[in-house]
Structure 1
Amino acid sequence: MEPHELIVCRDVSLGYEGQTVLSHLNLTIRDGDYLCIVGDNGSGKSTLLRGLLGLLAPQSGEILRAPELERGAVGYLPQQTRAQRDFPATVLEVALSGCLNQKGSRFFYTRAQKSQALMNLGKLGVLEWKDKSYRELSGGQQQRVLLARALCAAGRLLILDEPITGLDPAAAQDLYKTLSYLNTKEGMAIVMVTHDLGPALRSARSVLHIGQRGTFLGPVADYLASPQGRRFREVGP
């Protein structure tokens, strides 16, 4: 791998219990990338995220990760379940949990880790709620806290799975602005699965479209001019 490469997929096929859902994928994620993954339901988008995170081994091919990613330095924002929305912890405790991989055998978080969590809460505009119960926040506020948690884990890469699900349009727009800031101003690479095609592509640099009619990987402008992109523009939001 080159020094600026974070994840490289070489002829990767992924699936479960012998059934392949994604075949022969070649993909390189580099520092500063902003990649949107789109496609039909059941096309393998979330399966690919599991592979990128190292939670699912490829059926064939190989997935190479930069050394720091192998040590867990990836910020991951999964889809939230109803039970997780009602999690009984303070906002600061939720954000701090992103430092678990750095905690090692220590029982308590370090002062530096607490400072990092507070800084990320401030960066995302939710520092004033640090002592508030997470379950009392709105959906948009909870997503900001979870993004702060992901930033506590992230070194150079954020991976997000449908991050605006359940958010109202204003909260979704705020989240996109935050992701754009993290990408352009702080150099964080972002990989995001989304159905919210229009707003997402205003910030993204490239698109991976996975579908029964083939795969597209390239810049946003080329995608919008492709058969897959034109079809999504016709039927999408």
Structure 2
Amino acid sequence: MAQIECKDVSVKYESQEVLKDISFSIEAGDYLCIVGENGSGKSTLVKTILGLESAKTGEVIFGDNLNKNEIGYLPQQTQAQKDFPASVYEVVLSGCLNSRGMNPFYSYKDKKLANEMIKSLGIENIKKKSFRELSGGQQQRVLLARALCATKKIIILDEPITGLDPTVTREMYNLIKEINKKGITIIMVSHDINFAINNASKILHLKKNIKFFGNTEDYAKSEVGKKFIGGAEID
């Protein structure tokens, strides 16, 4: 059974239809890149999957014993988030919030997990630093560690390398690839089509509705893929 299935999902903002009749499914271990031009509905789709936006019609179905609270999420950062006055450790630990239920206190298990994620992403040396004092690349590593505290199954990333320099971008891409190799499903919104076709196992191309969904190799051979890779506008 699919981990996530979207069935005929449509989303409207006031009178404007942003997504129309979106249907696709994600299997455990997939590495899905969601691509498309600006304003094509990519971020709206992931927010709808997470329940942050409401579908006007259709539904999002969770399978494979996946609970919506078990999805790790790395959103696009706002300036307010970049200036968040907390330590690296506190930000990473907050990824355990959804698993606490009614318990108002972090458990020993939560704290141990946070430290494990901090170690695995190589940010032990900045553990006590304020999040707002970090570089963009360091902040993204911290937020990735936070997302990993929320899940052992699936992570959604919305443009995780925006504003990062080429070296840090490569490091982030390598980290994400290693996370996927450990069996965690990746759903990533990306504007980097060359990265997508070289790393993702599946591509979902949006322009309000689905222009393509399938294996990366098939996308690269498709008319939609050829046009987009070549920089042409998709009808």
Q: Same fold (TM over 0.5)?
A: yes
Percent of matched pairs sharing the same residue: 49
1:159 aligns with 2:156: yes
Name the structure 1 match of 2:124.
Answer: 127
Aligned with 2:69: secondary structure? coil
State how 1:14-53 maps to structure 2 within 5 Å: 14-53=11-50
TM-score (normalizing by structure 1): 0.92
- Asked if 1 retains the 8 angstrom alpha-carbon contact of 2:75 and 2:157, the reply is yes
1:96 aligns with 2:93: yes
Name the structure 2 match of 1:148.
Answer: 145
Tell me whether 224-233 or 113-122 shows the greater mean CA deviation. Answer: 224-233
Aligned residues: 232
The amino acid across from 1:179 in the alignment is I
Name the structure 2 match of 1:227.
Answer: 223
> Following the alignment from structure 2 to structure 1, what is the Cα–Cα distance between the partners of residues 104 and 21?
44
- Asked if 1 retains the 8 angstrom alpha-carbon contact of 2:20 and 2:209, the reply is no
- Find the partner of 1:195 among 188, 191, 194: 191
- Asked if 2 retains the 8 angstrom alpha-carbon contact of 1:34 and 1:191, the reply is yes
Tell me how far 1:158 sits from its aligned partner.
Answer: 0.3
Structure 2: gaps of 5 or more residues: none
> Following the alignment from structure 1 to structure 2, what is the Cα–Cα distance between the partners of residues 98 and 172?
23
> Following the alignment from structure 2 to structure 1, what is the Cα–Cα distance between the partners of residues 21 and 103?
42
TM-score (normalizing by structure 2): 0.93
Structure 1: gaps of 5 or more residues: none
The amino acid across from 2:146 in the alignment is R
Name the structure 2 match of 1:72.
Answer: 69
Tell me how far 1:204 sits from its aligned partner.
Answer: 0.5
The amino acid across from 1:221 in the alignment is E
> Following the alignment from structure 1 to structure 2, what is the Cα–Cα distance between the partners of residues 201 and 230?
11
Does the C-alpha gap of structure 1 residues 115 and 213 become closer, same or farther in structure 2, counting only changes over 3 Å? closer
> For the aligned residues, what is the CA RMSD?
1.7
Tell me how far 1:71 sits from its aligned partner.
Answer: 4.8
- Asked if 1 retains the 8 angstrom alpha-carbon contact of 2:11 and 2:54, the reply is yes
C-alpha distance after superposition, 1:187-225 (max 9, x if no partner): 000000010111233221010001269610011111111
- Asked if 2 retains the 8 angstrom alpha-carbon contact of 1:15 and 1:47, the reply is no
Aligned with 1:175: secondary structure? helix
> Following the alignment from structure 1 to structure 2, what is the Cα–Cα distance between the partners of residues 41 and 220?
21
Name the structure 2 match of 1:61.
Answer: 58
- Asked if 1 retains the 8 angstrom alpha-carbon contact of 2:74 and 2:147, the reply is yes
